[in-house]
């Protein structure tokens, strides 16, 4: 059994993860951390029934507990504490929280190489989203012009999304072309053309009713190509996440991106 602690357990994604773990035969949820619902049995919170695992307000409350894996889907400002707690105890770390800075990623890589803790971070845990990014990378070899539209629920803390930023980083031909805004263009409303990252315009939409969606639109003379992925239920992240849980003990050091766990070249 893989013993797991979840940070951000009472959030929408955290509840989905905890429920998913409780349904898996080779995993055991041994700790749940959140600032909300402290003292409540996590099983009852997610509709599973009483488990004996009560939500605590901080990792420091998990006294004399050494799980094998810590999963953090809380907030990028809290990830440093999770990583420090795990590294101190030799616990492996999986982070699905977006909004992490490059400095944070560098520190985590250094920590993974100087400790017994393997660290896995992915901007998106949905296998379909990873394939969307891979196909977009392939298409960028043949199209010079591209824009990204990403749509998320109105509670998302960061914009653009980590998926949109990572997609822009992957686009090859687009990155080589400078000056994405034509000289004749005039923005009558500031940022109406979106933000510019790696020479790619990114447009972020935040609305209630959405979960996570992204389309990458390529254009050239006489044709367009749209590659789109829609997450309509947070359960779509579990197959990718659990793939990471089952493999992290054998992935020494630091791993970034779910694509590293998929046979997609």
Catalytic residue (one of 76, 156, 198, 260): 156
Is there a cis peptide before residue 98, judged by omega within 30 degrees of 0? no
Residue 124 among known ligand-binding residues: yes
Residue 162 among known ligand-binding residues: yes
Report residue 40 as tokens: 């409540």
Instruction: State the residue for tokens 């822009």.
Output: 168
Residue 167 among known ligand-binding residues: no
What is the 3 state secondary structure string of the chain? CEEEEEECCCCHHHHHHHHHHHHCCCEEEEEEECCCCCCCEHHHHCCCCCCCCEEECCHHHCCCCCCCEEEECCCCCCHHHHHHHHHHHCCEEEECCCCCCHHHHHHHHHHHHCCCCCEEECCCCCHHHHHHHHHHHHHCCCCCEEEEEEEECCCCCCCCCHHHHHHHHHCHHHHHCCCCCCCCCCCCCCCCCCEEECCEEEEEEECCCCCEEEEEEEEECCEEEEEEEEECCHHHHHHHHHHHHHHHHHCCCEEECHHHHCCCC
Residue 65 among known ligand-binding residues: no
Strand partners, 216: 148, 227
Residue 219 among known ligand-binding residues: no
Residue 9 among known ligand-binding residues: yes
Residue 98 among known ligand-binding residues: yes
Annotated active-site residue 156? The verdict is: yes
Residue 118 among known ligand-binding residues: no
Residue 215 among known ligand-binding residues: no
Nearest to 196 by CA among 152, 155, 151, 146: 146
Residue 40 among known ligand-binding residues: yes
Residue 239 among known ligand-binding residues: no
Residue 61 among known ligand-binding residues: no
Residue 250 among known ligand-binding residues: no
Residue 66 among known ligand-binding residues: no
Residue 13 among known ligand-binding residues: yes
Catalytic residue (one of 152, 201, 203, 229): 152
CA-angle at 78, arms to 111 and 93, nearest 5°: 40
**Known binding site: residues?**
8-13, 37, 40, 96-98, 122-125, 153, 162-163
**Known binding site for NADP(+): residues?**
40
**Which positions are catalytic?**
152, 156
**Known binding site for (S)-2,3,4,5-tetrahydrodipicolinate: residues?**
153, 162-163
**Known binding site for NAD(+): residues?**
8-13, 37, 96-98, 122-125
């Amino acid at each position: 059994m893989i013993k797991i602690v979840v940070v951000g357990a009472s959030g929408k994604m955290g509840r989905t993860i905890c429920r998913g773990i409780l349904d898996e035969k080779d995993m055991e949820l041994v700790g749940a951390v959140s600032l909300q619902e402290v003292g409540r049995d996590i099983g009852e919170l997610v509709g599973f029934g009483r488990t004996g695992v009560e939500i605590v307000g901080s990792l420091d409350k998990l006294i004399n507990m050494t799980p094998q894996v810590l999963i953090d889907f809380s907030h990028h400002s809290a990830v440093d504490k999770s990583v420090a707690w795990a590294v101190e105890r030799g616990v492996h770390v999986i982070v699905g929280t977006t909004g992490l800075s490059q400095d944070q990623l560098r520190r985590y890589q250094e920590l993974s190489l100087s400790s017994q803790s393997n660290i896995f971070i992915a901007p998106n845990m949905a296998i379909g989203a990873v394939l969307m990014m891979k196909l977009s990378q392939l298409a960028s070899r043949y199209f010079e012009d591209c824009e990204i539209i990403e749509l998320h629920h109105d509670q998302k803390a960061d914009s653009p999304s980590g998926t949109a930023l990572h997609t822009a980083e992957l686009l090859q031909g687009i990155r080589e072309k400078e000056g994405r805004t034509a000289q004749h263009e005039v923005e009558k409303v500031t940022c109406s053309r979106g933000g510019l990252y790696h020479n790619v315009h990114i447009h972020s939409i935040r609305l209630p009713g959405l979960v996570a969606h992204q389309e990458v639109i390529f254009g050239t003379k006489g044709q367009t190509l749209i590659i789109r992925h829609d997450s309509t239920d947070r359960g779509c992240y579990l197959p990718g996440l659990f793939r990471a849980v089952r493999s992290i003990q054998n992935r020494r050091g630091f791993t970034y991106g779910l694509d590293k766990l998929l046979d997609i070249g």
